[in-house]
Structure 1
């Protein structure tokens, strides 16, 4: 058997990260431990990606043998990194799913301050879309349902975190009547 037949056929992601408009890391998840094993190498890679993309009006870049799709919003830059052989459209669907899910959770206010105030929800969204580098979901509605279900099963102080984040006062009132 040759080595190409042993490679996984699943769509995969090497890394996901969100940077602010100065190139500072707000969130990062690297799924390939051999890609950039140290924090210094990761931040250097992120800085190189940011320098190449922050003024460009594109959606895709190729750097250091990686395919990078990205999107900006107000003062944030969202990046999804895949191997050079990865399907760019699949990477873009992951990026769009992440952005649309976060946009909904943050009530269309996708900016640095709101993102930092709601990091728990942000990590849940990323973890629902990608697990260990494998793309699990690309539909934002499915992601939101799963995140909402997960948060509903763990009420904190009599309310559900997603209801609090999204301002869903009706759901909070309904649950308080049940208690």
Structure 2
């Protein structure tokens, strides 16, 4: 009997720049235990995907879904048996959340200036018990704290409301 697909089967989330250098990496299991192995895997992924138009690849026995935007490459990695649509939904959730958070300016410079928002979004996506197809909008709504009335919310104004929503969802 196969397990139901879930966000807990995501093995890694990566963001690389247009040179293939790591800007962000979060590995959820021990598939690549050392930084050296992780960087070699990231180099391999980038070399195989940075010039292609497809969105899905099977590399090193793993399913990789990815998307590029200006000077960034976003990757979500799962096992070879993982549902590609589920992995793509996680990728779209992350990208849409960052796009909203960065006011549609998803590029290297703005991402580096707002890394705390990226950390928070990636940490919360797997734990939020929400409809994955609307995840990006829902996650951003939680992060943006619209009920506060801030015209220019900062990451500090996101944390408490997000913690409250995640607690309620648990």
Do these two structures clear the TM 0.5 threshold for a shared fold by scoring above it?
yes
Q: Deviating runs (4+, > 2 A) in structure 1? A: 7-10, 135-138, 145-149, 162-165
How far has the Cα of 1:8 moved from its partner?
A: 4.7
Is contact 2:101-2:144 (8 Å) kept?
Answer: no
Give 1:121's match in structure 2, choosing from 117, 120, 144.
117
**3-state SS of paired residue (1:129):** helix
> TM-score, length-normalised on structure 1?
0.76
| Alignment match, 1:161 | 154
**3-state SS of paired residue (1:14):** strand
Structure 1: state its 5+ residue gaps.
Answer: 153-158, 166-179
Is contact 2:5-2:86 (8 Å) kept?
Answer: no
Structure 2: state its 5+ residue gaps.
Answer: 159-170
Is contact 1:18-1:28 (8 Å) kept?
Answer: yes
| Alignment match, 2:163 | none
> TM-score, length-normalised on structure 2?
0.80
Question: Based on CA coordinates, which of the two structures has the bigger radius of gyration?
Answer: 1
**3-state SS of paired residue (1:108):** coil
User: How do 1:39-50 residues align onto structure 2 when only pairs under 5 Å count?
Assistant: 39-50=35-46
Query: What is the number of residues matched between the two proteins?
Result: 149
